[in-house]
Chain A
Amino acid sequence: MSVKKIAKKDFVEFVETLIRKERVFGVQAKGDRFDFAPLESAQDLRLDYDVTLQPPKKFFQPPAEVLMTFEVGGGYQSQYDDEPFVLLGVHPYDMVAINQMDELFSQDNYDTHYMTRRNNATIVACDVAKPSENVFASSMGTAVVKSGYDVLLTDIGDSYVCEAATEKGEKLMAAAKKAVPADDAALKSREAVWAKNKKGLNRHELKCDPAYLPKLLAKAYKHPVWEERAKTCFSCGSCNQVCPTCYCFNVQDDVNWDMKTGKRERAWDGCLLDGFTKVAGEHEFRKQRADRFRHRIYRKGMYVPEKIGGQIACVGCGRCVAACLPDIANPVAVYNRLIDDLGIG
């Protein structure tokens, strides 16, 4: 697959032609923050962003989606959003999260709704140009990414190095007529960006190798940190909502006004929310906030990793740190506290 270089002004032109041909979503300013949104002008694309408010998971698992429509007492009709689209500007840590979601939604029982969207996506990732206030991707080994994307862009000053990693990526970049093969100097500059980010995206520093986290947690079920932190938890689920690796959902039926037709939908849910585990008869598992708080940390650091070859399901984006009002969600603070008390090894 090819590695090219394209001047920034030519890249803007390329994105303009892309927008005219395809359904394109890209990172844009939203007030003084950033978010993924439909891209109407290449000028609006902000590849110099620090972090987006929401991770790109919404393009593959929307906050709410129709799984099928039905007639009451009659048949069911599956519904799919199967229009191809291009996603511009996915940071490496978010790409790692998407790779994990791909594995989770395709393993055991293949989820056609997620995978239809995923297979229709062309992902243009981009290396981080400006670290966000709470990023700790360097600690989690997710500051750079080597797979999952179709194209990877790296800002090297006046131009981007663009690596097409798949057929889809090659096809996309073929439209960038002014791109030239990347020279050694460009590749060296890209290496320098990677080296810098591997160390520099680290506003919170984890005191151990992430691979050690499952072992750390195995001895921490009864640690006081869960109670201490959860004391001020609002059970608001903000940490779940902004997390690129949270994918819990609820399936529910909704009947239309005609009382004859309806739809089965799924919508995001969150393990921190009160009622998440409530069953008929009003029994609620993990009713205590501390139990729910602990569950989230264990899910990221121990339970999900077992399903995805040991990778930790926290990618260090830092969004939960920023979103948590009582400031208790920071996973690094929790892990480091456990390391301080329980040691390593």
Chain B
Amino acid sequence: MIANLYQPINGEIVEIIDESPTIKSFVIVPQSAFSFATGQFVELTLPGEGEAPFTPSSSPTVTEKMEITIMKAGRVTERLHNCAKGQPIGIRGPYGNGYPIDEFVGKHVYIVGGGVGLAPIRSLFLTLVDRIGDFKSVVCRFGARTPADFIYKDALLGPWQKLDGVNIKLTVDQANGDWSGNVGVVTTILNPKDVDIANAVAVVCGPPIMMKFATVNLLEYGFDPKTVYLSMEKNMSCGVGKCGHCMLGKYYVCKDGPVFTYDQVCKYPKIWE
């Protein structure tokens, strides 16, 4: 008998990291090695509560455990935030296409991220850094609502800044405390001179409104719509291209995405709404 598409494998939460007032990272150990490509997502089951889709934020080279960063935003995520170490959890997947890393080779990778959108970007970032010599550079422009809302702060403000071939700039919508960096939405730290656009790809992940304006800017700067990679997360539910909740035009985001080029989706109306 072919496998039941909707049946998870078991796993366990072994560590919980507070990232921001509303965001936690969960380190999960699946019962057996779990492979995924960066940018692919999984459906996590909290037994008895239900499922929700998340993109792992850890490197895909690690298969014996994975890290998933989750914002408290709905029913399942709120229950997850109330879990403690040792909580059994179900995992289905991985689903979707992930980032086409091989198409980025030999180019600048210009990454624009916001809020909890940094979660999938972290996995991408770690993947790129693993083979940094394959890319001209990795340039990151990240935003958060306030300094406290930045996730992965320690890495962002520390070791990641010092990596060869990497350039990171941060901004917050509202400064407080001892923030000395830029204040303004993420588009205020984008600059057409950041990278050689003819030899670059862009990756955008964050809240829909941020993605919309970032994409508009990137296109104005001269990025080809075929080189702008967007994480078009929707209400992914079944994960296998059947249930219809995540349709974006003709695409099932869960199967054909969640990463699309702007060129693929721009003909559909209201893609951000």
Tell me the bound Cα distance from A187 to B99 in angstroms: 58
Contact A250 B237 (CB under 8 A): yes
Contact A281 B269 (CB under 8 A): no
Tell yes or no: B208 within 8 A of A by CB.
yes
Tell me the bound Cα distance from A54 to B244 in angstroms: 20
- With contacts A253-B49, A255-B48, A303-B249 taken as known, whether A285 is within 8 angstroms of B235 at the C-beta atoms is yes
Tell yes or no: B241 within 8 A of A by CB.
yes
Contact B74 A253 (CB under 8 A): no
Tell yes or no: B155 within 8 A of A by CB.
no
Contact A277 B235 (CB under 8 A): yes
**Partner among A73, A76, A253, A276 whose Cβ is within 8 Å of the Cβ of B7:** A76
Chain A residue with minimal CB distance to B88? A73
Tell yes or no: B182 within 8 A of A by CB.
no
Chain A residue with minimal CB distance to B237? A251
CB distance from A282 to the nearest CB of B (A): 8
Contact B73 A247 (CB under 8 A): no
Tell yes or no: B243 within 8 A of A by CB.
yes
Chain A residue with minimal CB distance to B7? A76
Tell yes or no: B33 within 8 A of A by CB.
no
Q: Which residues of A contact B47 (CB under 8 A)?
A: 70, 72-74, 253, 262
Which of A1-9, A24-32, A264-272 is the interface stretch?
Answer: A264-272
CB distance from A76 to the nearest CB of B (A): 5
Question: Which chain A residues (45-93) contact chain B, with CB distance < 8 Å?
Answer: 67-68, 70, 72-76, 78
Contact A78 B7 (CB under 8 A): yes
Tell yes or no: B255 within 8 A of A by CB.
yes
CB distance from A252 to the nearest CB of B (A): 6
Tell yes or no: A340 within 8 A of B by CB.
no
CB distance from B131 to the nearest CB of A (A): 30
- With contacts A251-B243, A271-B244 taken as known, whether A111 is within 8 angstroms of B48 at the C-beta atoms is no
Contact B235 A279 (CB under 8 A): yes
Q: Which residues of B contact A221 (CB under 8 A)?
A: 267-269
Contact A222 B242 (CB under 8 A): no
Tell me the bound Cα distance from A255 to B48 in angstroms: 5
**Partner among B45, B245, B273 whose Cβ is within 8 Å of the Cβ of A269:** B245
Tell yes or no: A291 within 8 A of B by CB.
yes
Question: Which chain A residues (259-306) contact chain B, with CB distance < 8 Å?
Answer: 259, 262, 264, 266, 269, 271, 276-281, 283, 285-287, 291, 294-295, 298-299, 302-303, 306
Residues 242-273 of chain B: 1 if any A CB is under 8 Å from the residue's CB, otherwise 0? 11111101100001000000000001111001
Q: How many A-B residue pairs have CB under 8 A?
A: 120
Contact B73 A109 (CB under 8 A): no
Tell yes or no: B240 within 8 A of A by CB.
yes
**Partner among B4, B71, B76, B245 whose Cβ is within 8 Å of the Cβ of A248:** B245
Contact B270 A283 (CB under 8 A): no
Residues 213-253 of chain A: 1 if any B CB is under 8 Å from the residue's CB, otherwise 0? 00000000110000000000000000000000001111111
Tell me the bound Cα distance from A279 to B88 in angstroms: 24
Tell me the bound Cα distance from A109 to B3 in angstroms: 10
- With contacts A112-B1, A112-B3, A285-B235 taken as known, whether A247 is within 8 angstroms of B77 at the C-beta atoms is no
- With contacts A109-B241, A249-B244 taken as known, whether A277 is within 8 angstroms of B5 at the C-beta atoms is no
Tell me the bound Cα distance from A112 to B244 in angstroms: 18
- With contacts A73-B88, A253-B51, A303-B249 taken as known, whether A111 is within 8 angstroms of B5 at the C-beta atoms is yes
Q: Which residues of B contact A222 (CB under 8 A)?
A: 269
Q: Which residues of A contact B10 (CB under 8 A)?
A: 75
Q: Which residues of B contact A294 (CB under 8 A)?
A: 269
Tell me the bound Cα distance from A72 to B2 in angstroms: 24
CB distance from B242 to the nearest CB of A (A): 6
Contact A269 B244 (CB under 8 A): yes
Tell yes or no: A108 within 8 A of B by CB.
yes
| Number of chain B interface residues as a range | 35 or more
Residues 9-38 of chain B: 1 if any A CB is under 8 Å from the residue's CB, otherwise 0? 010000000000000000000000000000
Tell me the bound Cα distance from A300 to B40 in angstroms: 28
Q: Which residues of B contact A247 (CB under 8 A)?
A: 242, 244
Tell yes or no: A105 within 8 A of B by CB.
yes
Tell yes or no: A334 within 8 A of B by CB.
no
Q: Which residues of B contact A252 (CB under 8 A)?
A: 50
Contact B255 A276 (CB under 8 A): no
Q: Which residues of A contact B5 (CB under 8 A)?
A: 109-112
Tell me the bound Cα distance from A285 to B88 in angstroms: 32
Tell me the bound Cα distance from A306 to B252 in angstroms: 12
Contact A251 B235 (CB under 8 A): no
**Partner among A72, A109, A271, A281 whose Cβ is within 8 Å of the Cβ of B240:** A109
Contact B235 A109 (CB under 8 A): no
Contact A112 B4 (CB under 8 A): yes
CB distance from B157 to the nearest CB of A (A): 26
Tell yes or no: B238 within 8 A of A by CB.
yes
- With contacts A109-B241, A303-B250 taken as known, whether A251 is within 8 angstroms of B3 at the C-beta atoms is no
- With contacts A68-B6, A72-B48, A283-B208 taken as known, whether A277 is within 8 angstroms of B240 at the C-beta atoms is no
Q: Which residues of B contact A276 (CB under 8 A)?
A: 235, 245
Q: Which residues of B contact A278 (CB under 8 A)?
A: 235
Tell yes or no: A104 within 8 A of B by CB.
yes
Contact B241 A108 (CB under 8 A): yes
Query: What is A's interface to B at a CB cutoff of 8 Å?
Result: 67-68, 70, 72-76, 78, 104-105, 108-113, 221-222, 247-253, 255, 259, 262, 264, 266, 269, 271, 276-281, 283, 285-287, 291, 294-295, 298-299, 302-303, 306
Q: List 8 A-B contacts (CB under 8 A).
A: A109-B5, A253-B45, A253-B48, A266-B6, A279-B74, A280-B52, A280-B71, A306-B250
Given contacts A67-B7, A75-B10, 4 further A-B contacts (CB under 8 A): A221-B268, A251-B238, A280-B74, A283-B208
